[in-house]
């Protein structure tokens, strides 16, 4: 009898223990699903702002990053320049396109207007110091400067002509140098601004036929770092974007479409870049999202430089 009582007691204790664990398991499951339900209501189904910037939101409530700002894009009528001007206009900027061709520039400005942007064209030739001076006068109140215009007549070193060599350095180095020198001071006087130089991966790796061209862009990358130091304390940030092989009409015509496609296929991402992909990098560096970035060269090349 005593043994039977002890056995029944142990069974009762075990049943109570199982009952306790069953209750604890139930509460654990209920707690987990309750928290998950609250998270779904409070977070998942709540519209969220971009964490990168308080200035940008999604959907209909999106605030344009460059609203009430003015931006000058040299060489903004075609290619990377036009793609950049279009993004800036989309984000609310009043865009000034500068270039040599009045016809192409007027067409580009009109196209931006069709997208709902505000844009105007100023004719300017960066090879001409007087033309650069006039551009500074006519675009003196810019918040953003994109030094995109450039010449690129490629040639092997032994075949490089003097005239083309001078054209490269006048357009790619001297023009942006004095344009930046003037506009950076004006930006500083108004409290700050952002400058983005467009260079190339030919400044970072050896590419046959680009000795003179690559050296002009290497000079601009050096200027980027120096200007970042000189103007940083005045509230002006200076950065650069180094595009890789980008599908633009000018380069495709010079190299040949098929040859250019083969070059693009050799990079790790296996293709040429679209101008818009380079423009997105320029837009980022010009924006408040990059407020603590200066003196940097952002390489956008599909991994091409990584191969060297």
Nearest to 185 by CA among 146, 225, 131, 145: 145
- Annotated catalytic, 213? yes
Phi then psi dihedrals of residue 228, to 5 deg? -60, -40
Name residues whose C-beta falls within 8 Å of residue 288's C-beta, 6 or more positions apart in sequence. Answer: 53, 55, 65
DSSP, residue by residue, 178-224: HHHHHHHHHHHHTT-EEEEEE--GGGTS--TT-HHHHHHHHHHHHHH
For the chain, strand residue ranges (E) read 70-74, 94-99, 118-123, 144-147, 193-198, 236-243, 297-300
Nearest to 152 by CA among 66, 245, 223, 47: 245
As a whole number of angstroms, the distance between CA 99 and CA 106 comes to: 10
Terminal CA-to-CA distance of the chain, rounded, Å?
A: 89
- Residue 206: both structure tokens together: 């050896």
Q: Which long-range contacts (CB under 8 A, 24 or more apart) does 156-164 make?
A: 156/208, 156/209, 156/211, 157/211, 157/212, 160/211, 160/212, 164/212
As a whole number of angstroms, the distance between CA 216 and CA 164 comes to: 12
- Residue 225: both structure tokens together: 């770092």
Catalytic residue among 27, 39, 115, 213: 213
Catalytic residue list: 213
């Amino acid at each position: 009898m005593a043994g039977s009582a002890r056995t029944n007691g142990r069974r009762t204790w075990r049943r109570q223990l199982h009952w306790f664990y069953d209750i604890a398991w139930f509460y654990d499951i209920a707690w987990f699903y309750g928290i998950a339900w609250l998270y779904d209501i409070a977070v998942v189904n709540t519209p969220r702002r971009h964490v990168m910037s308080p200035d940008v939101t999604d959907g209909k409530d999106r605030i344009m990053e460059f609203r009430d700002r003015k931006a000058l894009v040299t060489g903004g009528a075609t290619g990377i320049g036009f793609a950049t001007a279009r993004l800036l206009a989309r984000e609310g900027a009043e865009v000034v396109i500068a270039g040599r061709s009045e016809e192409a520039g007027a067409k580009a400005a009109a196209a931006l207007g069709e997208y709902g942007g505000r844009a105007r064209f100023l004719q300017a030739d960066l090879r001409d110091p007087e033309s650069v001076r006039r551009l500074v006068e006519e675009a003196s109140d810019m918040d953003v400067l994109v030094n995109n215009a450039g010449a690129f007549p490629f040639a092997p070193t032994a075949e490089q002509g003097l005239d083309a060599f001078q054209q490269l350095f006048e357009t790619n180095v001297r023009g942006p140098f004095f344009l930046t020198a003037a506009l950076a001071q004006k930006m500083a006087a108004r409290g700050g601004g952002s400058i983005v130089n467009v260079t190339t991966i030919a400044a970072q790796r050896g590419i046959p036929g680009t000795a003179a061209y690559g050296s002009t862009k290497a000079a601009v990358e050096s200027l980027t770092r120096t200007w970042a130091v000189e103007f940083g304390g005045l509230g002006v940030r200076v950065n650069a974007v180094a595009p890789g092989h980008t599908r633009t009409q000018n380069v495709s015509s010079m190299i040949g479409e098929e040859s250019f496609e083969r070059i693009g296929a050799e990079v790790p991402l296996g293709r040429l870049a679209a101008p818009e992909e380079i423009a997105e990098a320029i837009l980022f560096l010009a924006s408040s999202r990059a407020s603590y970035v200066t003196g940097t060269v952002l390489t956008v090349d599909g991994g091409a430089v990584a191969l060297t």
